[in-house]
Amino acid sequence: MYFEFTVNDSFDFLTSFAGKFAVKIENNELKIPEVFGRGSIKRIHLEPNFKLIIHQYKLNQDFILKRLGSETPNDMLTIIFNNNDTPVSLLSNGNNEIEFSRNNASAIQIASSDLASLIRFPANTEICFAVINIEKSSLNSLLSILEPGGIVQHILNKNSGFLYYESMTLDIQKTLKGLTEYEQDSKLKNLFYRHKASEIVFFLFEKLLQREAIRHNQINQADIDQLFMIRTSILADLSLNPHLPDLSERSGMSETKMKSLFKQVFGDSIYNYYQKARMEQAAFLLKQRRLSVSQTGYQLGFSNLSHFSRLFEKYHGIKPKKYSLSDRTIY
């Protein structure tokens, strides 16, 4: 399955999707036909310029969602909250693939409408994600920040050239769970959805406001393609430290520009991002109980297991041996 669209002030995802695949919409909900799989896509109008789309389905074939960049800048902002246990793939216009799941630092995407993206959902996997479409004036009113600075000011005042990723926190994951599991036919359901959607916006911008105040540079599609390549290279082998001169040469960017744009988009330095990914992978391997603590450390490139243990405890608040025996889930 393949669906291509461009976001603008008048775009309605559910109506366009229904027209593409000849599916009926009833009570703002589209049921996935059995020929494609099962599940639904729901549309909730929270306010005239504030909409929520909830995707929950399992398809019997790969599904590609391609968002084209708008030719003219507009005030519509798209925020994607991915809540899948199984990672899906997010690609730029090139072929550089980026994992997109709630367990990594790219589970939430906020982007200007002029930038393109492509998300591939694998067949026969449970897919669950929510999309908020909101005009900047409505977002500004919702946030009610008297003197927005840094990243918030950039999002509210710029119509083009910005892209940010954030990790899925436990608070956001819980709120999304409430959104996606709510099925009561209550007269107050619109109030419930408005409250929960506002809540996840609050949690997201609370995280964005914690980012270090840096000068924000305009970013274009070519820059994004190279940043995806850099990120893919970093995550390809977590046993190897990123080599900045090599990444700079391969991306065609100076080291200064590369480091600045990477931190701007992903919210952390290249090395810190790499270390967090190592610790996430370590937690995953230990929770699967496929490898011992020492095997996990060696697989991730640690020759000193004491260092591995200290670093794991720093990120997760628990020693790796104790974590491997526990039933905790880390987000």
211: Cβ contacts below 8 Å, ≥ 6 apart: 150, 151, 267
- Reported as a pLDDT band with limits 50, 70 and 90, residue 132 is very high
The answer to whether residue 286 scores a pLDDT higher than 70 is: yes
- Reported as a pLDDT band with limits 50, 70 and 90, residue 318 is very high
Yes or no: say if 13 and 55 are a contact pair by the CB < 8 Å rule: no
Average pLDDT for 283-293: 85
Question: What pLDDT, in 10s, does the model give residues 221-278?
Answer: 889 889 988 988 988 899 999 999 999 999 999 999 999 999 999 888 999 999 998 9
Average pLDDT for 301-307: 93
Q: Which residue type, as a one-letter code, is found at position 320?
A: P
Can you give the pLDDT at residue 327?
61
Can you give the pLDDT at residue 74?
78
Can you give the pLDDT at residue 244?
95
Question: What pLDDT, in 10s, does the model give residues 74-85?
Answer: 788 889 998 665
Can you give the pLDDT at residue 2?
92
Yes or no: say if 268 and 228 are a contact pair by the CB < 8 Å rule: no
Average pLDDT for 44-57: 91
> What's the number of CA atoms in the CB half-sphere (13 Å) around residue 253?
21
Can you give the pLDDT at residue 101?
42
Can you give the pLDDT at residue 105?
55
The fold for domain 277-324 equals Arc Repressor Mutant, subunit A (1.10.10)
Nearest to 132 by CA among 237, 36, 45, 34: 45
Q: Tell me how far apart the alpha carbons of residues 208 and 65 are, in angstroms, rounded to a whole number.
A: 26
Retrieve residue 30's tokens. Answer: 């589209």
- Report the predicted TM-score, pTM, of the whole model to 2 decimal places: 0.79
Can you give the pLDDT at residue 104?
55
Q: Tell me how far apart the alpha carbons of residues 225 and 232 are, in angstroms, rounded to a whole number.
A: 11
The answer to whether the 2-208 and 277-324 domains have the same CATH topology is no
Q: Tell me how far apart the alpha carbons of residues 71 and 172 are, in angstroms, rounded to a whole number.
A: 32
Q: Tell me how far apart the alpha carbons of residues 17 and 5 are, in angstroms, rounded to a whole number.
A: 9
Q: Where are the domains of the chain?
A: 2-208, 277-324
Gyration radius from the chain CA atoms: 20
- The mean-pLDDT minimum among 165-179, 253-267, 311-325 falls in 165-179
CATH of 2-208, one of 2.30.31.10, 2.60.120.10, 3.90.550.10, 3.40.50.10190: 2.60.120.10
Sheet of 163-166: strand order equals: 25-26, 29-31, 37-47, 50-59, 126-135, 76-82, 108-111, 163-166
Question: What pLDDT, in 10s, does the model give residues 104-114?
Answer: 555 788 888 88
